[in-house]
Amino acid sequence: GAVNYRDRVIAGDTPGVLSFANVGLSVAGLANRTGDGDTIRLGAQGALMGAGVLKIRMSMPVAEPDFLLSYSGSLGAMDATCLNEYLDVSVRTRLNSCQVDDVAFAIEVVDGRAEGSMTASYRNLEIARLDEQTGESGGLKNSVVSFLANVFKIRSDNTADDSGSMKVGKVGYSRKSDDSFYYFIWRALKTGILDVVCY
């Protein structure tokens, strides 16, 4: 199948879109029993923006009164500039360049609080800040902001050094009362991405 996730910054605006092609899904343990140990286990795989293969595994107790689950996954190699269809609109930022080698994450959610870690190996990250009104990257203000971000704020490369270590991102996000399930999953992941990318 195919899945599109749309995210609007302002109600009524054109949404940014994350698309997933060639999606496969498996589900086990889906039942209405409430006995001890009953857990839904989900596995999904798809091509993010038709490029890198994203794999996710999720485990969720059937009758747990609190918001409790765990999920983990990986993303294969891709040219991340294909994400601009989403980034241009949703965060008014464009990737001029970025090659992702691989990404892995593992997150535990207890009582609506997501915590975990993310490793992301990537190279040549360069961003351009876009004008809030026009969506264009030109202009002195946007150029200055982009330059300062690329020099002082953004980690342009995150690859293993000689000892094999690299920056590992921390995931930390608490569910808001109006967060949908999918929005919560994505927002938690974004905290890990930002922790890896930003100094």
Q: What tens digit of pLDDT does each residue of 52-78 get?
A: 999 999 999 877 777 899 999 999 999
Collapsing DSSP to helix, strand or coil, 37 comes out as coil
Which stretch of 1-5, 112-116, 190-194 has the lowest confidence by average pLDDT?
1-5
pLDDT tens digits, 89-127: 888 889 999 999 999 999 999 999 999 999 999 999 998
CA distance 125 to 130: 16
Examine the pLDDT at 182 and tell me if it is beyond 90: no
Which stretch of 87-91, 126-130, 144-148 has the lowest confidence by average pLDDT?
144-148
- Output 192 or 34, whichever has higher pLDDT: 192
**Mean of pLDDT values over 126-144:** 68
Mean pLDDT of the chain: 87
Examine the pLDDT at 147 and tell me if it is beyond 60: no
User: pLDDT class for 136, splitting at 50, 70, 90?
Assistant: low
CA distance 44 to 97: 28
**Mean of pLDDT values over 17-31:** 90
Which stretch of 13-17, 40-44, 53-57 has the lowest confidence by average pLDDT?
13-17
C-alpha torsion sign, points 77, 122, 106, 109: negative
pLDDT, position 78: 97
User: pLDDT class for 162, splitting at 50, 70, 90?
Assistant: confident
pLDDT, position 33: 60
pLDDT, position 119: 96
User: pLDDT class for 39, splitting at 50, 70, 90?
Assistant: confident
